[in-house]
């Protein structure tokens, strides 16, 4: 979770929010209402990227934000937060204290960082591979039963092959 969250007022111009995102190199801003309560989230996708300059100049953030219906609590497990984000197909999750104040934000980048800290690298995993076990010794001579089982396997394969040949249509 990121505790230092960038917020923007819902009356703020969308162009100013876009510039703040570009300057801070972030993808999400938490939108606050008049009393400072969290009313939504705006993402770079909501603001339309570089193609929507005219719309950003004329609309406030409140018109372009996603009013949040999903939130996290500080005691929510990481796995549950990740499942909520995946289930709702969202890139961030505001973390709200029980009294309604903003505690932080969980983003996909936060989850990937946690994953990277927990999982060892593939290079380390290759080094840690156990040695191959020694091959078992071959028996001195094959028994009559093992020869029969080999014949059964061979017969089964031949039967499948000949049946497959019979079921194929003739070439023209």
Q: Which of 53, 71, 62, 75 is nearest to 33 (CA)?
A: 62
Beta-carbon count within 10 A of 5 CB: 18
**Residue 68 scores a pLDDT above 80:** no
Q: What is the DSSP string of 100-135?
A: S-EEEEEEHHHHHHHHHHHSPPHHHHHHTPPPPPPP
Mean pLDDT, range 29-58, rounded to an integer: 85
Question: 120-154 pLDDT, tens per residue?
Answer: 655 554 555 555 666 665 655 555 554 444 433 33
Domain ranges, ordered by start, for the chain:
7-119
Q: Mean pLDDT over all residues of the chain?
A: 76
Q: Which of 26, 28, 23, 104 is nearest to 61 (CA)?
A: 28
Query: Sign of dihedral through CA atoms 82, 85, 86, 90?
Result: negative
**Residue 23 scores a pLDDT above 50:** yes
For domain 7-119, give the CATH number. Answer: 3.10.580.10
């Amino acid at each position: 979770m990121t505790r230092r969250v960038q917020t923007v007022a819902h009356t703020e111009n969308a162009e100013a929010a876009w510039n703040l995102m570009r300057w801070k190199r972030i993808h999400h801003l938490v939108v606050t209402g008049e009393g400072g309560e969290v009313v939504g989230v705006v993402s770079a996708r909501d603001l339309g990227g570089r193609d929507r300059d005219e719309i950003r100049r004329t609309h406030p953030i409140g018109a372009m934000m996603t009013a949040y219906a999903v939130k996290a609590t500080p005691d929510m497990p990481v796995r549950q937060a990740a499942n909520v984000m995946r289930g709702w197909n969202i890139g961030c999750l505001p973390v709200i204290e029980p009294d309604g104040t903003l505690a932080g934000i969980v983003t996909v980048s936060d989850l990937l960082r946690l994953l990277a800290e927990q999982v060892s690298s593939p290079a380390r995993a290759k080094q840690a591979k156990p040695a191959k076990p020694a091959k078992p010794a071959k028996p001195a001579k094959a028994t009559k039963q093992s020869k029969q089982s080999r014949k059964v396997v061979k017969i089964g394969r031949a039967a499948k092959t000949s049946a497959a040949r019979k079921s194929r249509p003739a070439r023209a």
